[in-house]
Structure 1
Amino acid sequence: MQDNSGRNRLCDMLGIERPIIQAPMGWIARSQLASAVSNAGGLGIIETSSGELDAIRGEIAKMRELTDKPFGVNVAQAFVRDPDIVKFIIDQGVRFVTTSAGDPNRFCGELKAAGLTVFHVVPNLAGALKALEAGVDGLVVEGGEGGGFKNARDVASMVLLPLVRAHTDKPIVAAGGMLCGRTMAAAFALGADGIQLGTRMVSAAESPVRHNWKDAIVAAKETDTVFLNRQGPGPALRALRTARTSKLEVEPTDNIFGEMARAKDLYFGGDMEAAIALTGQVAGRIDSVRPVKEILDGIMAEYRQAVAGLPRF
């Protein structure tokens, strides 16, 4: 239940003012962006999927210089290279972790034994039930609308959120298709306690990616993403439509990870054909690059307006 201040049980659990979490995009979800989200009352998340743990250690230190607000770290299990990743997380003094892209049993017990709060990202009901059995504190329920690596059998948030809610009373963060106050109100009606923003944060003013990608998001129509690699091998993913991804849509590759080898050239060099620009369908609704605080302020104002405007029968 949301109170008039905008706080609810997710806010109380995480010590944040607004039930809005920033997605942990590889290389992008670092201190520059994450601190802006935390300072705006949401929860910034630092990624580890890049595998650059020395850099991540520095980014966590920068977070503590840039904000005194809570933040978290994501562990994308498919990309873990360091067998001591849990010790690394604990040693950084982090209190909240999201785990994703793997078995929730792999790290949950050790993280919770150290006193951390753990949410696991799930793409379907089976994944949610497995995570709940593993003892997670909450779930990030990710619909197929979202950008990034996905389950090949994608399920839309409109179906997935109430399905998972029917099986648990633990906090749920809705991801995939989340963008604004109206989508947050819809997610809450479907059983969520908060929302996670990915593509909206990629396009934010504080996002470290080059303007080319942000401009492409702003220019995108709602049909300008592609769902790739549905037949495998490896994970499926949703990305922005470019010449490269349009070709991959009809001529699948046997090595989807190889298509990301030059990700930094796309992210920070501005070459939109160097790799795959992981982007969600909400790109079709984003019309400008805005500062994080303005984005979060707008979400909360629109949320209240949307809820107040609902018909009463």
Structure 2
Amino acid sequence: MANKITNLFNIQYPIIQAGMVWNSGWRLASAASNSKILGLIGAGSMYPEVLREHIQKCKQATINPFGVNVPMLYPNIQEVMDIIVEEDVKIVFTSAGNPKTWTTWLQERDITVVHVVSSVKFALKAQEAGVDAIVAEGFEAGGHNGRDETTTLSLIPMVKEQIKVPLIAAGGIATGRGMLAAMVLGADGVQIGSRFVASEESSAHKAFKQAVIDAKEGDTQLTLKELAPVRLIKNKFYQQVQELYKNGPTVAELKNLLGRARAKKGMFEGDLENGELEIGQISGLIHDIQPVHQIVKNIIHEFEIAKKEVSNF
């Protein structure tokens, strides 16, 4: 299945396992890379030295390419980037910041750089910054999201029309049919998050994994747009947010309710009432917890079947 994305990352299938906070440790990333897709370690929930440990363990667990996802709002960003260089990581996905800040610096150190965007405007800025590829993520996605609420179905062809660098689709993709649809719309590959949350190798708490596979249509909602838009499962904390909205809260009041470590509490520690439970709308199609290699096998098998079906139209 060779194309621009497989060639760029030296992988067999044009699939990227998203670098999600509290879910994407070295076990998930190495299992993904061993399944011939690109695994990503999620640096956003790791102190610098914890990230170093995960990189080292990932290198021991796979001989295949893997990368690190780095939210650029990270307070120790220089230390994180230095560790990535010191540990000889060759692929970095950046997000939540200006791609001009780090792209050239990383590329000068022989690192492939991909930037995550949620709009055509930011895709063009990423291309101008010189990134090697772009992830365009629709608002169906879990976790932090775009303010414009542009769906993947609309976003991918609009971005494709404007850019020349390889394009990776994200948001609402968890199956082979979803992968094929995204590529028909113009994507060269896909980034998948929610499906890999519900994997055996994900570092998410087992209670959160169960909540994901129990989720149905309408069980997630984008909220907290005044801070940073985030898609959550509707739990006790989510309802508290909605109650606060009834009174027209200030940003300070929203921040006070959010507090600290809500995502860790929910996804990593398994507090399903008081934690942030970040997952995508596609959770309604996720019904079981499987090892990563089986998830990838199922996606590719369904992709090939769907491609044959489409060719008969």
Report the equivalent of 1:3. Answer: none
Report the equivalent of 1:133. Answer: 128
Kindly provide the amino acid, as one letter, of the partner of residue 198 in structure 1.
G
Separation in 1 of the partners of 2:265 and 2:254?
22
* 1:117–1:137 Cα contact (<8 Å) kept: yes
* 2:23–2:268 Cα contact (<8 Å) kept: no
Q: Does 2:86 align with 1:86?
A: no
* 2:93–2:114 Cα contact (<8 Å) kept: yes
Deviation at 1:133, TM superposition (A): 0.4
Deviation at 1:212, TM superposition (A): 1.1
Secondary structure, aligned partner of 2:210: helix
Secondary structure, aligned partner of 1:49: helix
Deviation at 1:226, TM superposition (A): 1.1
After TM superposition, the structure 1 stretch with the greater mean CA deviation from structure 2, 171-180 or 79-88, is: 79-88
Alignment root-mean-square deviation, CA: 1.6
Go from structure 1 to structure 2 and tell me whether the alpha carbon gap of 1:257 and 1:68 turns closer, same or farther (over 3 Å shift): farther
Separation in 2 of the partners of 1:211 and 1:99?
28
Q: List per-residue Cα deviations over 1:116-163 (Å, max 9, x = no partner).
A: 111100000000000000000110110000001112221100000000
* 1:260–1:276 Cα contact (<8 Å) kept: no
Deviation at 1:90, TM superposition (A): 1.2
Q: Does 2:271 align with 1:244?
A: no
Separation in 2 of the partners of 1:262 and 1:158?
30
Instruction: Decide which of 19, 41, 44 is 1:46's aligned counterpart.
Output: 41
Please list every run of 5 or more consecutive structure 1 residues that lacks an aligned counterpart in the other structure.
1-5
* Sequence identity percentage: 36
Go from structure 1 to structure 2 and tell me whether the alpha carbon gap of 1:260 and 1:218 turns closer, same or farther (over 3 Å shift): farther
Go from structure 1 to structure 2 and tell me whether the alpha carbon gap of 1:190 and 1:250 turns closer, same or farther (over 3 Å shift): farther
Q: List per-residue Cα deviations over 1:239-294 (Å, max 9, x = no partner).
A: 11112113313424521894452433323332112321111000111111111111
Deviation at 1:74, TM superposition (A): 1.2
Separation in 2 of the partners of 1:258 and 1:34?
29
Go from structure 1 to structure 2 and tell me whether the alpha carbon gap of 1:306 and 1:250 turns closer, same or farther (over 3 Å shift): farther
Go from structure 1 to structure 2 and tell me whether the alpha carbon gap of 1:260 and 1:285 turns closer, same or farther (over 3 Å shift): farther
Output the TM-score relative to the length of structure 1: 0.93
Report the equivalent of 2:249. Answer: none
Kindly provide the amino acid, as one letter, of the partner of residue 236 in structure 2.
A
Separation in 2 of the partners of 1:256 and 1:39?
42
Kindly provide the amino acid, as one letter, of the partner of residue 245 in structure 1.
Y
Instruction: Decide which of 45, 51, 71 is 2:66's aligned counterpart.
Output: 71
* 1:51–1:80 Cα contact (<8 Å) kept: no
Kindly provide the amino acid, as one letter, of the partner of residue 164 in structure 1.
V
Residues 20-59 of structure 1: matches in 2 within 5 Å?
20-59=15-54
Instruction: Decide which of 9, 15, 23 is 2:10's aligned counterpart.
Output: 15
Kindly provide the amino acid, as one letter, of the partner of residue 158 in structure 2.
L
Separation in 1 of the partners of 2:10 and 2:159?
24
Output the TM-score relative to the length of structure 2: 0.93
Separation in 2 of the partners of 1:149 and 1:257?
17
* 2:123–2:163 Cα contact (<8 Å) kept: no
Kindly provide the amino acid, as one letter, of the partner of residue 236 in structure 1.
P
Q: Does 2:201 align with 1:206?
A: yes
Separation in 1 of the partners of 2:291 and 2:257?
31
Separation in 1 of the partners of 2:40 and 2:208?
21
Secondary structure, aligned partner of 1:173: strand
Deviation at 1:165, TM superposition (A): 0.3
Corresponding pairs, count: 306
Report the equivalent of 2:274. Answer: 274
Separation in 1 of the partners of 2:268 and 2:137?
26
* 1:44–1:72 Cα contact (<8 Å) kept: yes
Q: List per-residue Cα deviations over 1:71-120 (Å, max 9, x = no partner).
A: 00111011232434322221110111111001111101101111111110
Residues 248-263 of structure 1: matches in 2 within 5 Å?
248-252=241-245, 253-255=253-255, 258-263=258-263
Instruction: Decide which of 111, 115, 120 is 1:116's aligned counterpart.
Output: 111
Report the equivalent of 2:248. Answer: none
Separation in 1 of the partners of 2:260 and 2:167?
30
Report the equivalent of 2:301. Answer: 301
Report the equivalent of 2:55. Answer: 60
Q: Does 2:265 align with 1:265?
A: yes
Instruction: Decide which of 87, 96, 100 is 2:91's aligned counterpart.
Output: 96
* 1:49–1:80 Cα contact (<8 Å) kept: no
